[in-house]
Structure 1
Amino acid sequence: MIRVKKKYSIEQFVNCESLIGVSISPDDGKILVGSNRSGVYNTYAFSRSGDKVEQLTSSDDNFIIPKGYFPDGRKFLFSSDQGGNEITHLYMQKEDGKQIDLTPGTEEKAEFHRWSLDENSFFYESNKRDPRYMDLYEMNIDTLEPTLLFTNKDGYYVAAISHDKKYVALHKPRTANNSDMFIYTKEDGVKHLSEHDGDVHYQPVAFDLDSNFLYFLTDEEHEFLYLKRLCLTSGMTEVVAKEDWGIVAARFSPTHKYLYYYVNHDGKTEVKVLETATGKAVEITDFPEGQISGLAISKSEKYMVFLVNRSTAPANLYVYEFESKTLNCLTNSLNPEIDENDLVHAKVVHFPSFDGLDIPAIYYEPHLEDGEKAPALIYVHGGPGGQWTVDFNPMIQYLVNHGYAVLAVNNRGSSGYGKTFFKAADLKHGDVDLADCIEGKTFLTETGKIDENRIGIIGGSYGGYMTLAALTFQPDAFNVGVNIFGVSNWERTLKSIPPWWEASRDLLYKKIGDPYTQTDYIRSISPLFHAENINKPLIVLQGANDPRVLQAESDDIVEKVKENGVPVEYIIFEDEGHGFTKRENQVTGFRAIREFLDRYL
């Protein structure tokens, strides 16, 4: 007998807990973590055993991300913006709950970098001198006075700081496919470390403990990023770790006993931990299935904490003890009202596009009766250059639970599949990448489980643009569109990017197009200038405080579609930015999307 799968409300899905920003207290006794269990992301302290949980902040409005305890183990650092405007400040919260804004400039954006090895300070970046560029500062934790360490006048990204504070490693993208690394010293200024020809990435990640080596990621003579190190005295380089897929990040434990790195393996995230001295892999027994994120190793280097989620369950918090090789899960983030067996496991699939190029995707197929055919959605990620991975997504599971199939397409131009695939849509956006998504319909119909006359397209940010591009440039390809803060007018968006994105301005122009010198082309790929073609129902969701995709982008396309006499629904969240972080707004938005799809698909 087949068990009937239960249907769940959007409130039940959104009431799953989401965790971010994990770190361990200096005495190993507590774990600091961000959670939205209150409906808004706040900071909590878990005892290492998980038997005690204390809420440390109580914001009703703003997204709070913990950055770690101060060395005394009582005060802690967190970052927060205002209503999603992305102008993040750094705050210190004392034992009595009093909060001090450490970067109080009205328009100052500050980003935490790391704590110093001597525990007398922390490093952070701020654009208070020039809103376009992030300078590097060191803040003394006793006086709370900052010292400027590096003045960034040329659009660098600060990548790493040596423990002796002598060196600062810098990263500078030339295009989305080509970047350089530099090293700064007070005595010699900025020195270029990566002279090369062609498209190659060089991205510094860390110095060794004695400031003899600079570790960096590169795709030199390889499709994927791998880890190398450069001897700062001899100039010689050597490979540290190379995989069949891309290494996307690498870090050391506090005193460099361990080196760990993340591998992006066909839409799944793997983490490998090495003993730095020997290069030997640390075998972790009973490692949980799923996507690993937020890994941190304690100051004592006895414990490791991390988050693991899978397609049918949100991230849970784990503690691993190296010596005893014991693993302990401290949370159960899935709403207890939901039976995980009722949810659908994501499948990594591949299908050929119009020109034979292999396109990866994540497929969610609803539970169906024999002979039943489901409506479906092509879901496009953000970016350009983003990637779908096999993670828990409450909105996707909600839609699938209510009978919709979802194919989350990693169209050409997505990251994670090598540099050739990544640059295959440059200056062709809304064209070849859209064609990949349309070919996803063939994959869906060939399963025999999908009604080919009921397929829609959905996406957020760049994916929202792709939704509008589909309805505009291929108006017969999809039956409905769901646009979540998507670009409708590239000319305006590219001219109005936030000032702190100045270092990436040329990168975006070379990938999408220059709004000043390629105006005709930019308008040709902007749905707003061709909106008369839209003849299918559309729903649009937008955050009023979005600094990346301005509200005008959604306002204008909605007005144009109304002029066509086409059904269009529009929801604006006054207290959100580029992404909806408040549980109440997620409920409202996700429910509206499903009701729209029920009505028109």
Structure 2
Amino acid sequence: MTEEMAKKRNTPSTYTIEQFMNTESIAGVSISYDDTNILYASDKSGVYNAYSISKHEKAPKQLTHSTDNSIFPVSFFPEDQRFLYESDNGGNEITHLHLCDENGQTKDLTPGEKEKAMFHGWSRDRRSFFYESNIRDERYMDLYEMDVETFTPQLIFQNEEAYQITAVSPDKSSIALHKPVTANNSDMYLYSPEAGLEHLSPHEGDVQYIPMTFDAKSLYLYYVTDEENEFLQLKKMHVKTKTVETVAEEDWDIMMAKFSPNHKYLVYAFNNNGKIEMNILETQTGAYLEIPGLPDGQISDVTISESENQLAFLLNSSNAPANLYVYDFNGDKLQCLTDTLNPEIDQDHLVEASVVHYESFDGLSIPAIYYEPVTASETKVPALIWVHGGPGGQSMVDYNPIFQYLVNQGYAVLAVNNRGSSGYGKTFFKAADLKHGEVDLADCVEAKKFLTSTERIDEKRIGIIGGSYGGYMVLAALAFQPNAFKVGVDVFGVSNWERTLKEIPAWWEAIRDVLYKKIGNPYTDTAYIRSISPLFHAENIQKPLIVLQGANDPRVLKAESDDIVESVKKNDVPVEYIVFDDEGHGFTKRENSIKGFYAVKEFLDHYLK
């Protein structure tokens, strides 16, 4: 680095929340049948819409023009430029499946008022597609097939036992099913109209068996399992003989595996210490392929074209937002098609995160992602402990505009992966079961020692912030460790587990018992559930609190935040409360993110800085 560059980085500009949020966010990738266009979602308009881009022109074209509900495209059609997309109403998570034709006209293919529908994949002949829907019974997602001539749905698997549908074999003879027992234990099944339901994974103890995909001839089922291992490994089972072979092993969890459309390639992703990496195997040779010039970062939304000549994916890093890349297998050429960072922001002014570990109260090593302001080298700065969603979940080394905004404003951020987080082995994952709000909270409190050990953080100015389950941890910290943190920032967080667990959305039936076994049963363990619910201990909250809540949130009902805010106000404690009438569980609209996190920054400047 030259002296001029070093000086530039050491004197970063201060940017507004508008500038950070005006960085484009993109998601979802599909390649057109003729390899000419790539379909994706972007919030460039302020709300997620469908866009396409050509690798030759690199000029994005907006395909939908919603101004209220977010649109997430899921796939081009196999023989033309039509595409399917999912969209809900105001963040209520009741997604419908829509068709957009080549003239931009749209049609709701699953118009049931309370019907939740999700795209599952195309049939081998590409004359139909599979999707899941709960129109028959709102508790269960059944599997349907819809032909592309008449768009008539046909029920092909009636789900009566809350199975998770993971794969349909190429010959349509079998459907792979996943059945969670607890968060640490699950089974896999095979269903066929002829043979019915077959249990593929009889076992004892806590073992995960998660089916992924079938081979081209429908002879093998590929799945991941942590049988005899701390981490999920990729294996395949012959569906007739039940013989098992290991396909791939990593020192971390293998999270995803899928074949290219004609099974020339097998792609799998694994979680390498908080960063998602990708491997590509050529199925005939078993050789691993390398992509020349691939930048360092996190891979997501991997897709291979029908021709199997192109690979498209998103890549981001802690100081660079996701961009769309396309790779030509024949020419060994990698191209970046987008430039999503707001041009008003100098990337050299963004902070690169580091993966750190610290010792908790009982000696357990806790991983975390650390962002430190440049100004911390000159004077001690305030800090925030960030707690991710869950239970489970994981903070990763990816781009987070809120982290970068807070760091740019002078706050250090430590994203803690407390015990109970995913990605660090099954023992670590289940270490907080039926002890939430206790041992995982203790891990967050112990994080303060790491921050002060850097000698760059003011130990008297450390707050806690989190969303969803992380929001619960914020409230738990203020209620159960009232002197640990100076302020709390609760974003869509649980205050009363008794109500939340009883009011789980109907379509979560498949994991209802899983959550009860992880958190506690609200019907039989009422005293315990109340003991870990901050609402029933709100009188202990004595530190300033800000709460953000979506009015349409189906997971954490607005009543959760209403109640905790009203209770804390009785303590004569500063409380700020912002409700977003057109959001659900999290932000989907840019203007709401700007409003919400500007208010958070103002709150922190007043009570923490």
Query: Shared topology, TM-score over 0.5?
Result: yes
SS of 1:155's partner is coil
Partner Cα separation in structure 1 for residue 490 and residue 21 of structure 2: 20
SS of 1:494's partner is helix
Kindly provide the amino acid, as one letter, of the partner of residue 389 in structure 2: G
User: Which residue in the other structure is 1:109 paired with?
Assistant: 116
User: Which residue in the other structure is 1:207 paired with?
Assistant: 214
2:412 is the counterpart of 1:402:
no
Following TM superposition, where does structure 1 have runs of at least 4 consecutive aligned residues deviating by more than 6 angstroms?
A: none
Query: Residue 377 of structure 2 contacts residue 456 of structure 2 at CA under 8 Å; is this kept in 1?
Result: no
Partner Cα separation in structure 1 for residue 376 and residue 563 of structure 2: 42
2:278 is the counterpart of 1:271:
yes
User: Which residue in the other structure is 1:244 paired with?
Assistant: 251
What is the deviation of 1:159? Answer: 0.8
User: Which residue in the other structure is 1:255 paired with?
Assistant: 262
Kindly provide the amino acid, as one letter, of the partner of residue 555 in structure 1: D
Given candidates 195, 207, 212, the residue that maps to 1:188 is 195
Query: Residue 427 of structure 1 contacts residue 513 of structure 1 at CA under 8 Å; is this kept in 2?
Result: yes
Partner Cα separation in structure 1 for residue 68 and residue 124 of structure 2: 34
Structure 1 segment 315-334 matched on structure 2, within 5 A: 315-334=322-341
Query: Residue 464 of structure 1 contacts residue 483 of structure 1 at CA under 8 Å; is this kept in 2?
Result: yes
User: Which residue in the other structure is 1:307 paired with?
Assistant: 314
Kindly provide the amino acid, as one letter, of the partner of residue 246 in structure 1: D
Given candidates 145, 148, 151, the residue that maps to 1:141 is 148
Query: Residue 551 of structure 2 contacts residue 582 of structure 2 at CA under 8 Å; is this kept in 1?
Result: yes
TM-score with structure 1 length normalisation?
0.99
Structure 1 segment 330-369 matched on structure 2, within 5 A: 330-368=337-375
Given candidates 474, 498, 503, the residue that maps to 2:481 is 474
User: Which residue in the other structure is 1:153 paired with?
Assistant: 160
SS of 2:73's partner is strand
Given candidates 172, 191, 203, the residue that maps to 2:179 is 172
Query: Residue 291 of structure 1 contacts residue 309 of structure 1 at CA under 8 Å; is this kept in 2?
Result: yes
Q: Which moved more, 1:65-74 or 1:225-234?
A: 65-74
What is the deviation of 1:232? Answer: 1.3
Residues 180-222 of structure 1: CA deviation (Å, up to 9, x unaligned): 0000010111110000010000000001010110000100000
SS of 1:17's partner is coil
Distance 1:444 1:369, change over 3 A: closer
SS of 1:368's partner is helix
Partner Cα separation in structure 2 for residue 286 and residue 357 of structure 1: 38
Given candidates 197, 206, 209, the residue that maps to 2:204 is 197
Partner Cα separation in structure 2 for residue 40 and residue 591 of structure 1: 19
What is the deviation of 1:404? Answer: 0.2
2:510 is the counterpart of 1:507:
no
Partner Cα separation in structure 1 for residue 60 and residue 530 of structure 2: 53
SS of 1:545's partner is coil
2:114 is the counterpart of 1:100:
no
Distance 1:107 1:370, change over 3 A: closer
Gaps of 5+ in 2: none
Partner Cα separation in structure 2 for residue 318 and residue 148 of structure 1: 37
2:23 is the counterpart of 1:20:
no
Kindly provide the amino acid, as one letter, of the partner of residue 227 in structure 2: E
Partner Cα separation in structure 2 for residue 468 and residue 323 of structure 1: 54
What is the deviation of 1:370? Answer: 4.7
2:432 is the counterpart of 1:422:
no
Query: Residue 180 of structure 1 contacts residue 194 of structure 1 at CA under 8 Å; is this kept in 2?
Result: yes
User: Which residue in the other structure is 1:31 paired with?
Assistant: 38
Residues 86-128 of structure 1: CA deviation (Å, up to 9, x unaligned): 0000000112211110000000000100011101000000000
What is the deviation of 1:369? Answer: 5.9
What is the deviation of 1:72? Answer: 2.7
Partner Cα separation in structure 1 for residue 224 and residue 433 of structure 2: 22
Structure 1 segment 481-520 matched on structure 2, within 5 A: 481-520=488-527
Partner Cα separation in structure 1 for residue 81 and residue 478 of structure 2: 54
Query: Residue 50 of structure 1 contacts residue 331 of structure 1 at CA under 8 Å; is this kept in 2?
Result: no
Structure 1 segment 281-292 matched on structure 2, within 5 A: 281-292=288-299
2:387 is the counterpart of 1:380:
yes
Kindly provide the amino acid, as one letter, of the partner of residue 554 in structure 1: S
Kindly provide the amino acid, as one letter, of the partner of residue 98 in structure 2: Y
Partner Cα separation in structure 2 for residue 35 and residue 545 of structure 1: 22
- Matched pairs, number: 601
Gaps of 5+ in 1: none
SS of 2:442's partner is helix
Partner Cα separation in structure 2 for residue 307 and residue 422 of structure 1: 27
User: Which residue in the other structure is 2:469 paired with?
Assistant: 462
Query: Residue 68 of structure 1 contacts residue 76 of structure 1 at CA under 8 Å; is this kept in 2?
Result: yes
Given candidates 80, 93, 96, the residue that maps to 1:89 is 96
Query: Residue 58 of structure 2 contacts residue 338 of structure 2 at CA under 8 Å; is this kept in 1?
Result: no
TM-score with structure 2 length normalisation?
0.98
User: Which residue in the other structure is 2:396 paired with?
Assistant: 389
SS of 2:527's partner is helix
What is the deviation of 1:74? Answer: 2.1
Given candidates 528, 537, 540, the residue that maps to 1:533 is 540
Kindly provide the amino acid, as one letter, of the partner of residue 132 in structure 1: R
Query: Residue 8 of structure 1 contacts residue 398 of structure 1 at CA under 8 Å; is this kept in 2?
Result: yes
Partner Cα separation in structure 2 for residue 485 and residue 579 of structure 1: 7
Identity %: 65
Distance 1:441 1:121, change over 3 A: same
